[in-house]
Amino acid sequence: MSISLLFISFVVFSLADLPSCFSIDQQYEKCLSALSCGSGSTVFPNITYPFWGTNINKPKYCGQSPFKLSCKNNQTLAVEIGNLTLRVLSTKLENQIITVASWLNGSCPNIWNFSGNDHYTLNPSTKKIDLFDCSDRHPSSSLSNISCNISNNSQKTYHVFRPSSSPPQGCTKVGNIPMLESAKNALHQSNDSNQALKTALDQGFDLRYNIKNQICQACTISNGICGSESRSESFRCLCKDKPHNSSCNDDQG
């Protein structure tokens, strides 16, 4: 009985082409499994590299340290960029793009003047829109307005003007916010432009994240999963047998 079991195991694992070792590497398995955060697994594929997050079941070795995700209220996948926390709406990892949005709770968008940092840049599909504060409460040429709380009990109204019309006197530009070019165009053509402005903010904007991709491609081609060494943060190719330095085909540890 035990001998035939042993034989079956031998045959199975020989067919699976696993070298000497009988168990699949834990890091490999973890980084291949689905992330956990509400419906976040529909936003991200199982392999999240270079993203990771301790409360989404993706340890740091599944990604690179600057690209940290977290799960808010146990249901919303968020990315932390500088001191901003943005909702992750969708991803195109093959193009190194994530679509993110500000939290809008009636509070003013926290993405004012945002133009990326060392690790993220605005993708060309993202445009900015200028917001104005006007002394005249209802400037007639205003295309749309958004009212939001700047603090506890102080509400502000900001205005957007058509690109063709210069804002009236008494209006000062207070900054810009990023949005998708398609949403910006829709806003400029909309009849219900306050709704279009809300929609534009809800749709978020595209960020491109910057990582060196060549080494990851070599790893992926060898059926590995890109990851990192938690302590040194250097690249690791996670393979079925064990983590390798660059690809599952190298002979190294």
Binding site for ligand NAG (CB under 6 A): 32-34, 46, 74, 82-83, 103, 105-107, 112-113, 137-138, 142, 145, 147-149, 151-153, 155, 157, 174-175, 194, 232, 234, 245, 252-253
Nearer to ligand NAG, 120 or 208 (CB): 120
Is 65 or 252 the residue whose CB approaches ligand NAG more closely?
A: 252
Least gap, CB of 146 to ligand NAG (angstroms): 8
Alpha-carbon span 127 to 129, nearest angstrom: 7
> Closest distance between ligand NAG and the C-beta of residue 2, in Å?
30
Q: In whole angstroms, what is the distance from residue 46 CA to residue 73 CA?
A: 21
Structure token digits, residue 160? 């957007």
Judged by CB, which is closer to ligand NAG: 20, or 232?
232
CB of 27: closest distance to ligand NAG in angstroms? 14
Angle among Cα 188, 190, 192 to the nearest 5 degrees reads 130
| Nearest distance from C-beta of residue 95 to ligand NAG, angstroms | 19
Q: Output the smallest distance, CB 47 to ligand NAG, in A.
A: 8
Q: How far is the CB of 154 from ligand NAG (least distance, A)?
A: 8
Nearer to ligand NAG, 23 or 152 (CB): 152
User: Nearest to ligand NAG by Cβ — which residue?
Assistant: 106
